[in-house]
Amino acid sequence: MDVGFIGLGRMGQAIAGRLLDAGHEMTVYNRTRSKADDLEARGATVAGSIAEASAGREVVFTMLTDDKALDAVVGGGLLESLPQGSIHVPMGTHSVTALTELAATHEAAGQVLVAAPVLGRPDAAAAGQLGVVPAGPADAIEKLAPLFDVFGRRTFVAGTNPAGAAAVKLANNMVLGCAIEAMAEGFALTRKFDVAPAVFNEVLTDGLFAAPAYKVYGGIISNEAYDQAGFTTLLGLKDSNLILAAGNAASVPLPSCNVYRDRLLGAVAHGDGERDWAVMARVQARASGLE
């Protein structure tokens, strides 16, 4: 399939690399061109503009940081260059409002929008082990299925409304953020009674909480390994604000989200915005008199 890919951060590079290695014709674009060097060496064509990356493509994936970046790419050449009938697949974490508006924009242009945020970290993308959550026209999702299978372990179709995909991704991130906050409180409580963090982490992950989220983030908190960020505090804060906005739009109270959002905001205030978002445990430790 003739695929365009715009946005080559760690996640974008991993996904684009999987598609390239699977034999798809790849044209890639990134504002910082050097991020495309590895893919170019492996056979990808590097476009000089968003329009060039979109023109003639059957599918264009975008992996972008936020709604502002998505708007800039769509208005900066994607919309005017993507052929009628072709599919735009935004895979970043975006607001329900942005995707609702973008679906209408593409429909008016004779194009198709399938929102498909992914679940997992960049290492999972490189291993083809992401969860993929597409929502949009059923026939378009069916066409995209072989591509999703290249970088995903499972696809969870979230319906025909692209905003539904955003709702699933945001809700999933909210539950994970709440889990990290709860772990942070547990680590702080046990530390106050002179229990080594490694012991509490072992108790958590050997029993009822022997799940990947607790193992990954429990290990990060236990070892205070916040500098190797798989998902930064600033990104977590951005997502928490999107979650609360979605709740406001749908009249859904989300009290737990407010708690971990404040922890993230506190981490940013202490200069930890680029560290892994599990650093909210450090904020909890400070509040407990441990730092």
Residues with catalytic annotation?
Answer: 169
Instruction: Tell me which amino acid residue 80 is.
Output: E
Q: Strand, helix or coil at 86?
A: coil
CB-facing half-sphere around the CA of 98: CA atoms within 13 A: 22
**Helix axes of 233-250 and 162-191: crossing angle, nearest 10 degrees:** 120
Backbone φ/ψ region at 130: left (φ over 0), alpha (ψ -120 to 50), beta: beta
142 touches 114 (CB < 8 A): no
Give 3's strand partners.
Answer: 26, 59
Residue 156 is given by DSSP the state: -
Q: Could you say which DSSP state residue 24 is in?
A: -
